[in-house]
A and B are shown apart, each in its own frame.
Chain A
Amino acid sequence: MSVLGKRKAEDSLVATVDLDSDNEDNETIVQNLSLFRENPFLESHSPRTDEIEAPHTQALAEQSQNHGLADYIQSAKKLILDRISERSLPDSLENLTTQYDKLFHLLEQTVKTGESNSCLLVGNRGSGKSILVRKAIEELRRDHKDNFLVVELNGLVQTDDKSALREITRQLTRESQMEGRSFTSFAESLSFLLSLLKSGTKSNSPVIFVLDEFDLFAQHPKQALLYNLFDIAQSSQNPIAVLGLTCRLDTMELLEKRVKSRFSHRQIYLYSPSNFGDFSAVTKKALKIPQTITAVEPGHIQYIQDFNSAVDTMFEDPSFLAVVRRIFDLTKDLRMFFKICFQPVSNLSIRSPFLNAAQFYESGILQRADSKTELLKGVSLLELILIVSMGKLLDRETNTFNFQMVYDEYKEFMNMTQVGGHSFGMKLYKRAVALKAFEHLQSFELVCPVESVAKCPKEYRMMKIMLEPTQITSAVLKYRDCPSAVKKWGTGNPM
């Protein structure tokens, strides 16, 4: 609390500046703030002197204090959001240093000495392949300015060799400021590109090809693009480096023999953090504001300190650690953690300037909730009973069924409850009404037809349910105002 009080005092310093202008217009406040930033004299003011303030300026002080704080929060928010949406690169890649060194060395060889290279980066989704490459290229840019070109392709976007070639020429001609040429045929653009690449010698500017989703390129007919790229890398022409990024371990098997023989067989494997300590260290780092950030105002520095210590205390909170642990145990995927960060980070505001564990816990629960069970909470009672009926059919090892069978099961249940006098206002709905409910379930794809083509009337079409028996049980238990008869039936207890 004393920390907060101190900051308040410092921020009221800002208020003194505002007093001069006597204007509540925000624009001027912003200007004043920037003025204040540049004025070393004002900065050296002792906060203590400013604590004595006239009461009528209190509101103003409050406002501008909020204002300064709002700016800090905004910048912190932006920084972290950039990081977790993977727009900015992390400062360091702790658990990937060996891979990074390998890759950087390889690319440096190409850029510096004109050695052609090819390499495959294999790793699970979210293990940092793209980040690694981007980081390496960024560092090369810093060292070698623009002495090399980068061509980025994505197997999902360039779905055939023709569009890939067009994209390569587009990126090359744009970056090397050559006159734009348009090609009509595949052969023409290929020959142009090859001449472009072959005409060079070792002294020409090297080109780095980054092929994201490399396995999809291998599915192109004849693998012409890969063949040509690897061929250029093999023969000492224009120096190029071909980097393939993939999450398929068997990508090598996909390559044709002639392509494979031209590939250098260099593979770099990437792994997610292997132990929980590393994992939580990386996650913690992602949420902290680095001290290196150019903070001039004492208020800002203080905020950063407070913010980071809030993150530190959060990582001591057992419930928060349980959330992180769960993600680590389930997937080791950093993106899963980032996903639950978005909400707490975007909710940073003057009212809650620091991250706290409860928010993460909440958003963690929201994101990992079983969406099917959640969806089942909103179905009508009739639909729920139909689902339980399907569950009963499953128990009898009738894995595919049609509407008639489900309706029969439902009718049996209703007869049973009505005889037992447990019906509680539930009535037996007509076949057509039940069929409509059944089709509603089908529209959510909770129930799916076995065959894609219907060969018989729709009530006889064989279906299967896309739910586990446990999901059905938990749906019944979670359903609001569920009649006890349905609850008993759905959870498998005898009536």
Chain B
Amino acid sequence: MPDTTGSMVDTQQDDLKKLFPGRAEQIDTLLGLMGKPTDPTVPSILIYGHSSSGKTSLVRALMSKTLPRKQWAYINCIECHTPRMIFEHAVNEWCNWVPSWENQFRSIARIDSLNDFLCVLKEGVPINEQATETIGDNETRYLVLDRAERLRDVASTILPVLLRLSEVSHRNICVILLSTIVYEKFRTKAGAFEPLMIRFPEYSKEDTLEILRRDFSANGMDIEVKGKESVHLGDDFFRSFSEVIYSIFFHNCKDLNELRHLVALLFPLFINPIRDGRAKPHETSKLFKLSQPYFAEATDKLYLREISSSEWAKRTSEMAQGDIALDTDASVVTAIRTNSRGDFDLPYYTKFLLIASYLASYNPPRFDVRYFAKVGEEKRKRKRGIQKPVHDKSGGKMRQQLLGPKAFPVERMLAIFYSIIDEQLDDGIDIPVQITSLTTLRLLIHTTKMDKLDGAKYKCNVSFDFIRGVARSVRFEIDKYLFDFI
């Protein structure tokens, strides 16, 4: 018996290894631990590694290739956020039961708690009048819990039991937890059975490029060149392109899914010069030079998701079709730039109110006189003697600019406000209403309790870039009024 299954397992193993570059060691370990279907296994395994390091896809592929469907259950703990959902889904999958309209979308058994779950495990699930499905009697059943860090929030008792489920239930069940978080964070006060740890290390450059290459169509692609015959682009071309992308991004982003996203969206831009006949496919450096402006500017937008990928794709395809003239190369970029900043217009005096609250949030009150008093400050200062500059032990790391906005009493803000507007305020302007509208826009935050009307305090909730834009629009030089800003 072991001979044929052995060779079968070997080919499966090789297939999996081909499917997942750079994961051979982990596949061997996992398959070794799983052993034969009836072998006893480790009570629990924790697979941890960075996001998009292939944890979920590898485990699912491995399970579906090597085990019959009933032997394993895959549960995403974000989807199943209550004990009931976790347990019912697990038992459904173990019994090959799919909730559908025929069975009124019911689960095969009602399991409300851990207690019920263990009952089901011990006694089996009645499928119909005659048969009951026993779980983990003979062959090992696997319970894969993705995003296992969420289990900590479900109930404090679930995780310790799941970690030694086979011992508590006396059944052959192996629990596999997938998480991006190290086990230290799972430990509870009372302690628990420690799972076996398997780390999925980060992909090397070669592995990353190999995975990126898979996104490219297997037969290469043909593109039309203006006025000439079409050019065939092969794997090598795509590889050199992915290498360029990798070298740009690996310093700030190693997430494979991010890279795939960028590769997919930037590829049309990269091959544009070929389409126009400005460059040949083998001239990688020229191509790179031609698409450099987009890469530098647009990648930030794409990486930070300031523009949706569909919008991006639409624009690039328009460009490829020649709807946008070639000399407006930067049009994509500029078009994006204009609507990225939250440029919404506020009434004139409301802008000053916002500026005043920003100043009140970030300036220490003791300097208000220096900045805003119409009469000179020097006289008073000389009386008290010159204050020694306070020596900052933290090397300027505790200045207000870095610490964030401070709450200020509304009276102080109003004083600043009246000081920074030059002309007399119109009678028709209702300041409290303006403050309320700024609060509803979440530009100001009310920090005191709503029922307390006296001494209300606010915080300014906008960034420096934003307030600079606002100040510029009313021609107010905010930089001069800020203390200790760099």
Query: Which residues on A are within 8 Å of B, measured CB to CB?
Result: 26-27, 30, 63, 66-67, 70, 74, 77-78, 81-82, 85-87, 125, 130, 154, 156-159, 163, 166-167, 170, 213, 215-216, 247-248, 335-336, 339, 342-343, 346-347, 366-367, 369, 371-372, 374-375, 377-383, 393, 396-398, 401-402, 404-405, 408-409, 426-427, 429-430, 432-433, 436-437, 440, 443-445, 455-457, 459-460
Q: A87-B40, A426-B251 are in contact. Are A378 and B49 (CB under 8 A)?
A: yes
CA distance A381 to B247 in the complex (A): 12
Which of chain B's residues have a CB closer than 8 A to the CB of A27? 1
Asked whether, in the complex, the Cβ of A377 is within 8 Å of the Cβ of B252, the reply is no
Which of chain A's residues have a CB closer than 8 A to the CB of B29? 343
Which of chain B's residues have a CB closer than 8 A to the CB of A455? 447
Asked whether, in the complex, the Cβ of B254 is within 8 Å of the Cβ of A380, the reply is yes
Asked whether, in the complex, the Cβ of B115 is within 8 Å of the Cβ of A371, the reply is no
Asked whether, in the complex, the Cβ of B167 is within 8 Å of the Cβ of A402, the reply is no
CB distance from A167 to the nearest CB of B (A): 6
Asked whether, in the complex, the Cβ of B33 is within 8 Å of the Cβ of A457, the reply is no
User: Looking across the interface, which residue of chain B has its beta carbon closest to that of A247?
Assistant: B191
Asked whether, in the complex, the Cβ of B197 is within 8 Å of the Cβ of A366, the reply is yes
Asked whether, in the complex, the Cβ of B33 is within 8 Å of the Cβ of A443, the reply is no
B455 at the interface (CB under 8 A from A): no
CB distance from B2 to the nearest CB of A (A): 5
Which of chain B's residues have a CB closer than 8 A to the CB of A432? 300, 304
Which of chain B's residues have a CB closer than 8 A to the CB of A430? 300
Query: Across chains A and B, which 9 residue pairs bring their CB atoms closest together, nearest first?
Result: A460-B404, A378-B202, A371-B182, A382-B252, A404-B402, A156-B157, A81-B40, A346-B32, A380-B254
B307 at the interface (CB under 8 A from A): no
What is the count of residue pairs linking A and B with beta-carbon distances less than 8 angstroms?
A: 190
CA distance A459 to B253 in the complex (A): 20
Which of chain A's residues have a CB closer than 8 A to the CB of B395? 396
CB distance from A222 to the nearest CB of B (A): 20
Asked whether, in the complex, the Cβ of B33 is within 8 Å of the Cβ of A343, the reply is yes
Q: A456-B405, A457-B461 are in contact. Are A157 and B190 (CB under 8 A)?
A: no
Asked whether, in the complex, the Cβ of A443 is within 8 Å of the Cβ of B180, the reply is yes
Which of chain A's residues have a CB closer than 8 A to the CB of B167? 86-87, 130
Which of chain A's residues have a CB closer than 8 A to the CB of B252? 380-383, 429, 433, 437
Which residues B378-404 have CB closer than 8 A to chain A?
393-395, 397-398, 401-404
CB distance from A227 to the nearest CB of B (A): 21
Interface of A is mostly: helix
Q: A81-B41, A154-B168, A156-B160 are in contact. Are A444 and B180 (CB under 8 A)?
A: yes
Convert B431-447 into 0s and 1s, putting 1 for each residue whose CB lies closer than 8 angstroms to a CB of A: 00000000000000101
Q: What 17 additional pairs, Cβ within 8 angstroms, besides A81-B41, A87-B167, A433-B300?
A: A26-B3, A77-B35, A125-B193, A130-B167, A213-B190, A336-B194, A346-B32, A366-B197, A371-B184, A371-B197, A381-B250, A404-B404, A427-B251, A430-B300, A443-B180, A445-B182, A460-B403
CB distance from A339 to the nearest CB of B (A): 6
Interface of B is mostly: loop
CB distance from B309 to the nearest CB of A (A): 16
User: Looking across the interface, which residue of chain B has its beta carbon closest to that of A153?
Assistant: B115
B134 at the interface (CB under 8 A from A): no
Which residues B163-216 have CB closer than 8 A to chain A?
166-168, 180-185, 190-194, 196-197, 199, 201-202
* 27 CB < 8 A contacts A-B: A26-B4, A81-B35, A81-B40, A85-B40, A130-B167, A156-B168, A157-B161, A157-B168, A159-B157, A213-B190, A215-B190, A216-B157, A343-B33, A346-B35, A346-B39, A347-B32, A378-B254, A379-B254, A380-B254, A382-B253, A398-B398, A408-B402, A408-B486, A437-B252, A445-B181, A456-B459, A457-B461
A63 touches which of B3, B32, B250, B402 (Cβ 8 Å): B3
Which of chain A's residues have a CB closer than 8 A to the CB of B3? 26, 63, 66-67
Which residues B44-73 have CB closer than 8 A to chain A?
48-51, 53
Convert B320-352 into 0s and 1s, putting 1 for each residue whose CB lies closer than 8 angstroms to a CB of A: 000000000000000000000000000000000
Which of chain B's residues have a CB closer than 8 A to the CB of A429? 252
Which of chain B's residues have a CB closer than 8 A to the CB of A215? 190
CB distance from B376 to the nearest CB of A (A): 34
CA distance A159 to B405 in the complex (A): 46
Asked whether, in the complex, the Cβ of A380 is within 8 Å of the Cβ of B4, the reply is no
A378 touches which of B53, B190, B402 (Cβ 8 Å): B53
User: Looking across the interface, which residue of chain B has its beta carbon closest to that of A483?
Assistant: B251
Which of chain B's residues have a CB closer than 8 A to the CB of A369? 199
CA distance A426 to B252 in the complex (A): 10
Which of chain B's residues have a CB closer than 8 A to the CB of A335? 193-194
Which of chain A's residues have a CB closer than 8 A to the CB of B190? 213, 215, 247-248
B482 at the interface (CB under 8 A from A): no
Query: Which residues on B are within 8 Å of A, measured CB to CB?
Result: 1-4, 29, 32-33, 35-36, 39-43, 48-51, 53, 113-115, 118-119, 149, 157, 160-161, 166-168, 180-185, 190-194, 196-197, 199, 201-202, 250-255, 300, 303-304, 393-395, 397-398, 401-405, 445, 447, 459, 461, 463, 486
CA distance A372 to B29 in the complex (A): 21
Which of chain B's residues have a CB closer than 8 A to the CB of A444? 50, 180-182
Asked whether, in the complex, the Cβ of A404 is within 8 Å of the Cβ of B401, the reply is yes
Asked whether, in the complex, the Cβ of A82 is within 8 Å of the Cβ of B40, the reply is yes
Asked whether, in the complex, the Cβ of B113 is within 8 Å of the Cβ of A375, the reply is no
CA distance A87 to B166 in the complex (A): 8
Asked whether, in the complex, the Cβ of B113 is within 8 Å of the Cβ of A163, the reply is yes
Asked whether, in the complex, the Cβ of A377 is within 8 Å of the Cβ of B201, the reply is yes
Asked whether, in the complex, the Cβ of B404 is within 8 Å of the Cβ of A402, the reply is yes
Asked whether, in the complex, the Cβ of A78 is within 8 Å of the Cβ of B40, the reply is yes
B303 touches which of A66, A433, A457 (Cβ 8 Å): A433
Asked whether, in the complex, the Cβ of A460 is within 8 Å of the Cβ of B114, the reply is no
CB distance from B47 to the nearest CB of A (A): 12
B182 touches which of A78, A342, A372, A398 (Cβ 8 Å): A372
CA distance A170 to B115 in the complex (A): 11
CB distance from A485 to the nearest CB of B (A): 13
CB distance from B57 to the nearest CB of A (A): 17
Asked whether, in the complex, the Cβ of A380 is within 8 Å of the Cβ of B253, the reply is yes
Asked whether, in the complex, the Cβ of B300 is within 8 Å of the Cβ of A402, the reply is no
CA distance A432 to B182 in the complex (A): 27
Asked whether, in the complex, the Cβ of B33 is within 8 Å of the Cβ of A342, the reply is yes
CB distance from B200 to the nearest CB of A (A): 9
CA distance A449 to B439 in the complex (A): 25
User: Looking across the interface, which residue of chain B has its beta carbon closest to that of A401?
Assistant: B397
Which of chain A's residues have a CB closer than 8 A to the CB of B36? 74
Interface centre among A82, A154, A402, A426 (most CB of B within 10 A): A154
Q: A157-B118, A367-B197, A372-B182 are in contact. Are A436 and B402 (CB under 8 A)?
A: no
Interface centre among B168, B182, B191, B405 (most CB of A within 10 A): B182
Which of chain B's residues have a CB closer than 8 A to the CB of A366? 197, 199
CB distance from A452 to the nearest CB of B (A): 12
CB distance from A165 to the nearest CB of B (A): 11
User: Looking across the interface, which residue of chain B has its beta carbon closest to that of A456?
Assistant: B404
Which of chain A's residues have a CB closer than 8 A to the CB of B114? 156-157, 159
CA distance A427 to B166 in the complex (A): 52
User: Looking across the interface, which residue of chain B has its beta carbon closest to that of A412?
Assistant: B395
CA distance A78 to B202 in the complex (A): 33
Which of chain A's residues have a CB closer than 8 A to the CB of B119? 167, 170
Q: A156-B161, A163-B113, A381-B251 are in contact. Are A436 and B303 (CB under 8 A)?
A: yes
A339 touches which of B48, B194, B463 (Cβ 8 Å): B194
CB distance from A389 to the nearest CB of B (A): 11
Interface centre among B40, B395, B403, B405 (most CB of A within 10 A): B40
Which of chain A's residues have a CB closer than 8 A to the CB of B43? 85-86
A371 touches which of B1, B33, B199, B394 (Cβ 8 Å): B199
Which of chain A's residues have a CB closer than 8 A to the CB of B254? 378-380
